[in-house]
Amino acid sequence: MGLTDLLFLALSAVAIVSGWRVFATDSMVRASFLLLLSFVAVGLIIVMLAAPYIGVATVFMMAVEMMVMALFMVMFMMNPAGLNPMMMVHQHRFSIAAGVLAFAGLTAAILFTSFPENSVDPSTPVVHDLGIELLGPSMLIFETAGVTLLATMIGSVILSSRSGRFGLADQGSKPPGLEPDGEPAGRQPEQGGGGHHHHH
């Protein structure tokens, strides 16, 4: 067993154990940092698998993403600072069974499949090849991902902003009545428009 194998074993153990602890810790902020640890371990395994660009990009992206996630965790935290035990689960047995079944099924598929053996040559300039691929034959796919991210930005702003900074879109634009002083034609704006405030 060489150094590579030992390193791989250690990193996989970190990835799996911290991935499991995400759902076993009491503090949701700690959970997001454990998820970050799992992602970093996977990123390092990816670097070991001759894909340095993807591995390092995963680490960087997840470092930033988990910081954002930690902020959201604070916003939606159930259990401040993780001082009390927290176990907020439903259909627990079913979920454990589904997880174990997925693992067992995938493992069986892995063990009973004969994969073609065609390892990447260590002298291949993989990052260079990726760059040529991204800005060459697969440029349309790459740009589609970019447009998807733009749509995501617009969608998340629309979803998370308070709707109608200036009231509802049709506020103050009642159509004229069908007959003098009659009901306005067309769709009625909802009563008391300007957003719905529910305080419970």
Partner 1 sequence: MTLATVLIVAAALIGIGLYGALSQQSFVMLMMGLELMLNGGLLAVIGLWANTMGGAPEGQLLAIIIMAVMAVDMAIGFALVTAVYRKRQADVTESLTTMKH
Structure tokens at 65: 């993403």
Give me the least distance between CB of 194 and partner 1, in Å please.
15
Contacting residues for 60 by C-beta, under 8 A, at least 6 apart: none
Cβ proximity to partner 1: between 161 and 180 the closer is 161
Structure tokens at 118: 């065609």
Contacting residues for 2 by C-beta, under 8 A, at least 6 apart: none
| Among 94, 165, 180, 187, interactor with partner 1 by CB under 8 A | 94
Query: What is the footprint of partner 1 within residues 1-30 (CB under 8 A)?
Result: 4-5, 8, 12, 15-16, 19-20, 22-23, 28
| 196 forms part of the interface with partner 1 (CB under 8 A) | yes
| 147 forms part of the interface with partner 1 (CB under 8 A) | no
Give me the least distance between CB of 63 and partner 1, in Å please.
13
Structure tokens at 127: 């990052």
Structure tokens at 175: 């159509």
C-alpha dihedral, 101 to 105 to 110 to 111, nearest 10°:
100
Residues binding partner 1: what is the number (CB under 8 A)? 85
| 78 forms part of the interface with partner 1 (CB under 8 A) | yes
